Amino acid sequence: MEALLLAIYAFFVWLIFFKFKLLPWNKVSQVTVVVIPIVALTTLILMLNIYAPSSADVRVIKYVVQVVPQVRGRVIEVPVEPNSAVKKGAVLFRIDPTPFELQVRTLEAQLAATEGSVQQLNEELRSAVSRTRAVRAKLELSRKRVQQNRELADTGAGDRFALEQTESDVSQLEAELSANIAAEAQIRARLGATVGDDQAEIAQIKAQLANARWELSQTVFYAPANGTVINLQLRPGQMATALGALPVMTFVEDEFQVIALYHQNELHEVMPGDEAEIALPTYPGRIIKASVDSIVWAQGQGQIPMSQTIPQTGAVPLPPGRFAVRLNIAERDQELFLAAGAVGQGAIYTQHGRHIQILRRVILRVGSYLNYLILKLH
């Protein structure tokens, strides 16, 4: 763009000084002709970098999911193909569910048996409580009779044998009551503690059963979002393991974000909502419309890693970093496919200096058309 402006300026200089000779071509005019474009272009570039900052590092970033199975087992089906688009919820692979189904059935049988045993113990407990209650009532009656017979025997109106008989009945009932209380305590001990509304053993088996059913559900892995499967190395017959360091495939989501990297002093006029444009070599000659979402005011040099070494701030400091500006793609280009890792150029148009921003738009479009050129010799 600068060359084009210089060419236009040179054309007018030729017309004025040489073609029509409207002004004399002397030392004063020669110095003036040289100084004007230098000052004008310098001022123009400085103003553009403030009010329409550009970036040669615009990146397309997509979310990448390393697919790791949650259970270990033999793979029986991989219905997807590498580098193929899949929809959210599509089956990526299946693990043989047989051992997990058997585990679920085993725990279901254990739960049914345990619930039956607990129900039987509850019946026995109710029966023991009833017997204890009946013995207590008999014991109270027998103690009253002992008291009555003792009073009659003391006055000579009662039979001593009847008193001894009632005392013997009391001793037997007390022994029977102790036995019933012991039996009741034994049943309560067998029932054990409770967790919520369930007996502890039943609650434990239910937890194991829920875990077994969850593991069974994990034998089928579904696509977490719309995306593409890459780096697919899983085949039927292989053993899949639940180890985070051993993913079986890589899933790249369709959802993306675009960021443009700028130096610190280029962003003081940039605000959320400002218009932006980007040009990617993927689409030569096309300008993708966008707007500023936010500025990420943080970068790696703002963090001191945990270390036993004292941070060094010597004569050679670390080079200054850049800050990311997140861009929202306009609705008209939302359906445009943007490859993960695509890099291009971009510009942000602030609320000031709109009369000179046209130059930045022209420069960006010229650069976009230059993407048609493939400059290599092999």
| pLDDT category of residue 288 using cuts at 50, 70 and 90 | very high
Q: In order of start, what are the domains of the chain with their CATH numbers?
A: 1-51 (no CATH), 71-96+216-248 (2.40.50.100), 99-212 (1.20.120)
In terms of C-beta density within 10 A (0-12 exposed, 13-18 middle, 19 or more buried), how is residue 215 classed? buried
d(CA 44, CA 48): 6
In 3D space, the residue among 48, 119, 61, 12 whose CA is nearest the CA of residue 344 turns out to be 61
165-194 confidence digits (pLDDT tens):
777 777 777 777 787 777 777 666 666 655
Residue 276, φ and ψ in degrees, nearest 5: -145, 155
Q: What is the pLDDT of residue 276?
A: 96
Q: What is the pLDDT of residue 283?
A: 94
| pLDDT category of residue 312 using cuts at 50, 70 and 90 | low
| pLDDT category of residue 195 using cuts at 50, 70 and 90 | very low
Tokens of 67: 């697919």
**Mean per-residue pLDDT over the chain, rounded:** 83
In 3D space, the residue among 238, 207, 208, 240 whose CA is nearest the CA of residue 221 turns out to be 240
126-142 confidence digits (pLDDT tens):
777 777 787 777 777 77
d(CA 56, CA 54): 7
Torsion angle of C-alpha atoms 256, 262, 268, 270, degrees rounded to 10: -30
Inform me whether the pLDDT recorded for 220 exceeds 90: yes
Residue with the larger pLDDT of the pair 248 and 150:
248
Say whether pTM exceeds 0.85.
no
